[in-house]
Amino acid sequence: MTLSRARAARLKPLLDAVADDRPWNDRVRFDPVEFPHRYSDPRDIEVVALLSASLAYGRADLFKPKIESVLSKLGKRPANRLKSLEAGELRSVLDGFVYRFNLPADVGVLLMGMGACLREHGSLETTFLEARRSSGDNRAALSTFARTIRDAAPRAEIVRVLGKTRGLDHLLPVGNGAAKRLSLYLRWMVRGPDAIDFGIWARVKPAELVIPLDTHIARLSTWLGLTSRQTQGWAMAEEITESLRHLAPDDPVRYDFSLCHFGMSGACPVHPVKENCRKCPLRAECRVGRRAG
Ligand code: SF4
C-alpha cells in the first residue's frame, strides 16, 4: 500500500498538530518510559528502559509495581549493579516476582544478560550495533539483540537459584513477530532527546525506526488509512511506518507516542463515540469519524 502524495499532505498537519499538543507530555506518568526518566547516566537509562519495556504488557497498574519492585533492589546505579550481579544474589532481587507469563528466572536472565553485555560490549547500544552488523534487517537485528542478551546470561545457574524459566520468548522475543516492546525500546533510545524519548543512541538514525505496533496504533492506523493489512504483525508495522515516512521522512515514528496515547487516554476509544469524533482533530481524514454525523 502506498500513501498518495495528496493524502499525505492532508494528513501531515493533522498528525503534527496531535503530536505537538503539549499535554501529551503529561502522559509520561501513564507510560513505562516514566522509569528510565528517573536516571541521568546513559548506561542506567538503557538498562532500566529495557527492563521497563520488556515488562510493559497488560495493564499498566499491574506491571508498573512489578518494575518498581525490581528497580528498588537495583539501587541508584542499576547498570553498575548489574555488571557485578551474581546468580546467588538474584533471590533477593526477584523475591516474590511473578507477572503473568513471566517467572523470576525469566527476569533473572534479562538482568544477568544485560550485565554480561555491559561487561563485554561496554553498553547495550554497542550490543545492538553488533547485532545489527550481523543481521540483514531491522527485525533480524532486534531478534539478534534479544538472543545475545538471553545467551549472555548463565542460564543453568539462574535456574538452579530461581527455578525454571517460563516466558522468555515473551519477555525477550526472537523470531519474526511484531516485536512491539523491542521497537518501543529502540524508539526511546534513538529518537529525541525530547520530553519522552532519550536520543542517547546516536549511532542509529530515527529514520531507520519501525513503529511499535500495539492495538491502539493498529486501530488508528487502519481508520486513518495508513495500512490496509488485516493482521497485526511486523509487516503491518513496516507498512504504517512507510506511510508515516511520507509525512516525516527523517523521523516517521515521531507520531507513535501521541497516537498511542490518543487511543489509550480514551480520546479515541475502541468503540467510537460520536461526541469524541465530532471534536476530533483527525476526523477529516478518519474513515470512521467521517461517518459519525
Ligand atoms: S474521528 Fe473518531 S474514530 Fe476517528 S480518530 Fe478521531 S475519535 Fe477516533
Per-residue pLDDT of 146-168, as tens digits, reads 999 999 999 999 999 999 999 99
Residue with CA at minimum distance from ligand 1 atom 4 = 289
> What lines the ligand 1 site, CB under 6 Å?
220, 223, 268, 272, 276-277, 280, 282-283, 286, 288-289
Of all residues in the chain, the percent with pLDDT exceeding 90 is 89
Nearest to 189 by CA among 47, 21, 82, 30: 47
* pLDDT tens digits along 244-259: 999 999 999 999 999 9
Alpha-carbon distance of 64 to 51, in angstroms, equals: 11
Position 139 scores a pLDDT of 87
244 alpha carbon to ligand 1 midpoint, in Å?
A: 18
d(CA 185, CA 174): 15
What is the dihedral sign for C-alpha 267, 220, 100, 36?
negative
For residue 90, which of 78, 102, 82, 101 has the smallest C-alpha distance? Answer: 82
Q: Which residues of 14-46 are buried (b: 16+ CB within 10 A; e: fewer)?
A: bbeebbeeeebeebeeebbbbbbbebeebbbbb
> Beta-carbon neighbour count of residue 233 at 10 Å?
15
Indicate the CATH number for domain 1-31+205-293.
1.10.1670.10
Dist CA 246 CA 132 (whole Å) = 25
Distance (angstroms) between ligand 1 centre and the Cα of 191 equals 27
Residues 164-200 have pLDDT tens digits of 999 999 999 998 788 999 999 999 999 999 999 999 9
What is the distance in A from the centroid of ligand 1 to the CA of 281? 8
C-alpha cell read off for 52: 521497563
Give the rounded distance of the alpha carbon of 109 from its chain centre: 19
**pLDDT score of 290 more than 90:** no
Res. 3: pLDDT tops 70:
yes
| Average per-residue pLDDT for the chain | 95
The pLDDT assigned to 277 comes to: 95
Cβ–Cβ under 8 Å, residues 52 and 36? yes
Q: Are 181 and 53 in contact (CB under 8 A)?
A: yes
Q: How far is the CA of 178 from the centre of ligand 1 (A)?
A: 24
Residue 102's SS3 state is strand
Count of beta carbons in the 10 Å neighbourhood of residue 122: 11
CB 34 within 8 A of CB 45: no
Question: Which sequence spans correspond to the domains of the chain?
Answer: 1-31+205-293, 32-195
Q: For 56-87, give the DSSP string.
A: --S-HHHHHHHHHHHHHHH-S-HHHHHHH--G
- Residues forming a β-bridge with 118: none
Q: What is the mean pLDDT of residues 25-37?
A: 91
Q: Is the pLDDT of residue 91 over 70?
A: yes
Residue 92 or residue 291, greater confidence: 92
**Ligand 1 site-directed mutation target among 221, 276, 279, most atoms within 8 Å of CB:** 276
Cell of 231: 493482521
What's the pLDDT score for residue 293?
62
42 vs 80: CA distance, rounded Å: 12
Given a contact cutoff of 8 angstroms between Cβ atoms, the answer to whether 276 and 41 are in contact is no
Q: 277 C-alpha to center of ligand 1: Å?
A: 5
Q: Which residue, judged by its Cα, is nearest atom 3 of ligand 1? A: 289
DSSP 249: T
